Structure 1
Amino acid sequence: MISFMQEREATQLHWIPREPTLENYTMYFRVYGDSAEIGAATARQFPRAIANSLIIAGSVMFINLFFGSLAAYALARMNFGGNLVLLLFYLGSRSVPGVAIMIPMYLVMRSYGLLDTHLAVILAHVTFTLPFTIWILKGYFQTVPLDLERAARVDGCSRLGALFRIFLPVTTPGMIAVGIFSFISSWGEFFFALLFTSTIFSKPVTVVASDFAQEIQIDFTIIAAGGVLVVLLPIILAFIFQRFIIHGIGGAVTG
């Protein structure tokens, strides 16, 4: 609501805008404008930052779906030993806080010349999202009867053919659930994105939004509009795919 207000109105004690305006949002999409306007330089970086976030989050989602589905399928058809390995892998990845590996990861990225690139952020995000993806998909894949694959093999499909033509299409809800999870997790991540990026050529939208904290006398209504733009896409995706998310996570828990 504050993002649709003027600054003088935001200081008053009411929630509904009495004089609604879109001026706070139009500032973010002005390619040209008065460079002396407070916050204008940061706001004009938003379109590029959104594109960076789409590239990073989309890549993280694709990597999670491709490699996560293959690993989860193998583990879903293994014995308890394979499940134990996955459990240790998952718990280990979730128990390591980001701040504990901040310096080592930074040094690794610098040694390979990956600082201020999309790839550095993508690799960092995949490190923490892939174990969860494998864990959820494994549980969901175990709900698919093995007889379905056996029937495909009898009809002439190879193991890979049965996987890609029969098995994965059946598990679409679970794939969508983990895909949306990995996308939203990458989209909203801030710590590693701030650590590995320094210019607008690689900064995601969460980092650019935080740059307003360095502005002096920036209108709070403009900051509110930026916050809405940051969370808008994840909210839309959650509403569109909520049925698949609930079904996918529910199937994984049941399995």
Structure 2
Amino acid sequence: MKKKHYLIKNFVVYSFVACFVIGILLIIFINSHVKKDKIYSDQQVIHLTLHYIVEPELSGEDLKDAISQSKIKLLDNKLQQLINEDTISSVRIWSNKNKLIYSSNKDFLEINIADSDLKKALESNLTYIITKDNSNKTSLNDNEIIKFYLPITYNNEIVATYEVVKSYSDIKYHIKELTIIISVSIFLGLALLYTLLIKVIYNSSKTLISQNKALTKNKLDLEASYETLNNAYKSTIITLDRLQ
């Protein structure tokens, strides 16, 4: 009986640890996958939107050196709706000469990109960077932002790069929400499986114990029958010897 409880206890502990570890690994994997999918989806939507809003207004010459003031105002008006809807925070356009030729944020007039995220992205072939928003030095909140780096093609040639800044909070909230739903589903599923396995093991253990008792009883019965038969055989031999 002690052995039975020992085996069940070991199974309960080890299976719980296994289910817990599997659940954590699944959540980490799914969280990473959800994050990549959400970022990729936003990136494609933004790139497609800018392709149809911005690029028709610009020529190849605009993207090489500078954009005229009239076109800058036109782009400002077109992009303002996206900014107002919080689809994006700002858009910058960099030429292949690493020159800033457009910025929807007029406070950002940086020309040298030696230490900028753009340089890091271009050198590492990154399409996005998640970083801190340090633009507001007086703010107590150091909010995360995501910067997308999207190519602008003209006549099948990359002539410039979008640097699109967007708050990372929406993406993070989406990832967190899905992760919670998936985590609860995984742990409920594993808990159900764990409970069913314990029930199966418990019932199997009871069956084995019952069969073991039956076998033990049969063994004792056989031994008793053999002893009886053996005694009867001895008595018969003794009786026959006396008769002779």
Task: Tell me the TM-score range normalised by the shorter chain.
Answer: 0.3 to 0.5
Bigger helix share: 1
Instruction: Give TM-score, length-normalised by structure 1.
Output: 0.32
Instruction: Give TM-score, length-normalised by structure 2.
Output: 0.34
Structure showing greater Rg? 2
